[in-house]
Each structure stands twice: as structure tokens, then as C-alpha cells.
Structure 1
Amino acid sequence: MEGFDRQLVALAPRLRRHARGLTGDAASADDLVQDTLERALRYRWRFRLRAGAWWGDGADGLLSWLLTMMHRLRVNAYRRADLVTYTDTLPDVPSAAPEPGLRLDLARALARLPEAQRAVMLLVGLEQLSYAEAALVLAVPVGTVMSRLSRAREQMRMLMEGTPAKAADANPQAAGRAAGLQRVK
């Protein structure tokens, strides 16, 4: 086994952990990891071309490259899917909290986040990527990563506290009508 293959094997648990957080389902996560690793092996020459300039050297650059592929595969699959289902299965991530109920609440709250916010939350919070690295993985500006992360954290806080969403946040048009405001063109 050559060095590239060894690095892929070493990064597979991190990829699986990230995929479980994205999908919320063990079978879908395993499929996503397999598709990502298969594509990485097929296009390893692209990583080697980019290794010195854009992606950096070593395992960090390889991880970013793999997470980018995984994210793009997930987005493509998400766009193709007619129906998205969520399950109550939990990722195999060791929990710092000893209470299993809290872990379940966190997983459910994470599953309720919009896909874009969940991806940013997992990249920055779970994978410990910097904002710039997460922006590269998601192919969005750094400011977009920061704003999505801020909204995701606020949404998670509200979901964990059981606080209902503000009327203006949930439906701005209904909130405007309730306050006596009307939209004028």
C-alpha cells in the first residue's frame, strides 16, 4: 500500500464521523464515505497536482480535499433526492456529556438545522476547521461561513432551550401583517 492509500485509510474514521453528522443515518453515511474514498482513489492525480499550491501538503490538505468531495457528493445527492427523511439514529461520536438524553437532544436539534447551517456547524465545531478552511470546503465566502455558523448556533440554542422561534424569524410576512404592516410594491 502506498502513502496516499495509507493516508486515506487513516482519515476514514474522521470522514465517517463527519458523514454520520451530515446524514444522521449510518447506512447513508457509509455510502457517502465509500463514494468519497472511491472518487479520491480514482482522481488521486488531482490531489497531487493541487497539493503544493492550493490544498497544502500532507494529511491536512488531503482531509480538506476529501471533505470538499464529500460535501459536493452530499449536495448532489440532496438535490437529486425527491424526499429527504431523517432518523433518530445517533452518530458514533464519543460524547463529553455523560447524560444520554442530552446527546439525543443535541442530535435531534442538529438534524433540524437547514443543510447549509448543519454543514458549517459540523465542519467548524466537529472537524475543528478554521473559517477559511470551511469556506474552501463549501466553496462559499468566509463571511457566509461566519453568518451561517452564527445562525446555526442561535438556532441550536433555541432548540435546546425549547424557546419557540420568533414570529419574524419563522414567517416575516405573517409577522408584518400581524403588526399592521403591508408590503407595497
Structure 2
Amino acid sequence: MDETGGVIRLIPRKAKTLSTSFEQDLLALLPRLRRFAVGLCGNSADGDDLCQMSLERALANQTKWLEGTRLDSWMYRVMRNIWIDQVRAATRRRETFVHEDAGQSVGGDGAQEHTVELSMVDRAMQRLPEDQREAVLLVMVEGYAYKEAAEIVGCPVGTLNSRLVRGRDALLELLGEAE
């Protein structure tokens, strides 16, 4: 009973559902965002963290997204900005005791051939300069048009095209497939 003598009724709360198209659209983008994040970071653990931070920031700043614009481009830019901040912070506090390639030969060699090839591509991608890696990921992996990718990165189309060509050529050379 409440203070007026009336009966208090407990109304069960409904489970929280995705209420807005913004949240539903974010959910639909999740596989692409994760793939881009893993590509930027070079491993799935850091990529998952980057993806989560990007989603958190997007939900917190949902009002800054302009209805009618491309949510995917906006999210890639959010993710890219977080990644750049992380790289800068890591560079300032990095102190390496053992080269990261030292652990590459640990373990059995029972992996399948395609897993080995993908691992080689991942390592080669990580050796590309950041600007070239971004261009390759956005155009060749994510399938963005040059103009869209240039908008995401924030550079002229010609600059993105140059980065893409240099990145693709360097990637082929690193993989031993250059002509």
C-alpha cells in the first residue's frame, strides 16, 4: 500500500529492445565494422576493443549523426579517429623488449595452407604505412568507391588513389607476387 492507502502495483519492465533505426542500422553494420577494426589493428582482440569503443562513442554521440547521411561512412570515420588516438598513445608509451616476430614461430605447423596464406597477408598488411593500409582496407576489402573512401579518410581522391596504388604494389612485393 502507498501512503494514501492505495495498492501499489508493480508493472514488469519489458526487455530493452532496439528502439531506433539508428541502433538497428548499427547492428547491421557490425560485421563490416569489426572487419575494418581488425584490419586496422592487426589482430582480432584489439579489433574487437576498437569496434566496441566505436559503438560506444557512436551511441553516446548519436545526435551528431545527420539523418539522411551514410551511417557506415560516419562510423568508419569515428573508428578511424579512435584508432589514430590509440596509435599515438601507444607510440608514446611503447617500450619493446622482444621483437614481435619472435613469437611467430612458436607452436605446431599443423595449420592449413589457407590459414598460413591469410596470416602472411595480415603480416604484410601490418607492414604497410598506415595511410596505405587504410586505403587498401577501405577500397579493396570493404569495397568503397575512391570518392567515398577519400571522404572517410579526409583527403582528396587523387591522394587516396596514390596511397592505394602504392599500398597495393607494396603488398604484392611483400607477398612475393610483384611482376
- TM-score greater than 0.5 by the shorter chain: yes
Q: Which residue of 1 aligns with 2:84?
A: 75
- Post-superposition shift, 1:106? 1.1
Residue identity matched to 1:117:
Q
Report matched runs for 1:83-94 at 5 Å: 83=94
Structure 1 unaligned blocks of 5 or more:
90-97, 164-185
The separation in 2 between residues aligned to 1:100 and 1:26, in whole angstroms, is: 15
* RMSD after superposition: 2.2
Local SS of the residue matching 1:146: helix
Q: CA–CA distance in 2 between the matches of 1:28 and 1:36?
A: 12
User: Secondary structure at 1:140's aligned position in 2?
Assistant: coil
Hey, what does 2:73 align to over in structure 1?
A: 64
Q: Aligned pairs, how many? A: 146
Change (3 A) 1:14 1:113: same
- 2: distance between equivalents of 1:152 and 1:104? 18
**Runs ≥4 in structure 1, deviation > 4 angstroms?**
84-89
Q: CA deviation at 1:81?
A: 1.4
TM-score between both structures, scaled by the size of structure 2: 0.74
Letter in 2 for 1:70: M
- Whichever of the two has the greater Rg, that structure is 2
1:27-42 pair list within 5 angstroms: 27-42=45-60
Indicate the residue corresponding to 2:166 in structure 1: 151
Amino acid at match of 2:71: L
Query: Counterpart of 1:9?
Result: 27
Alignment of 1:1-185 (within 5 A): 1=18, 2-47=20-65, 50-52=66-68, 56=69, 61-82=70-91, 83=94, 99-161=114-176
Shift of 1:126: 0.8
TM-score computed with the length of structure 1 as normaliser: 0.72
Identical aligned pairs, as a percentage?
39
Q: Which runs of 5+ in 2 are unaligned?
A: 1-17, 105-112
SS class of match (1:81): helix
**Distance in 2 of aligned mates of 1:37 and 1:84:** 30
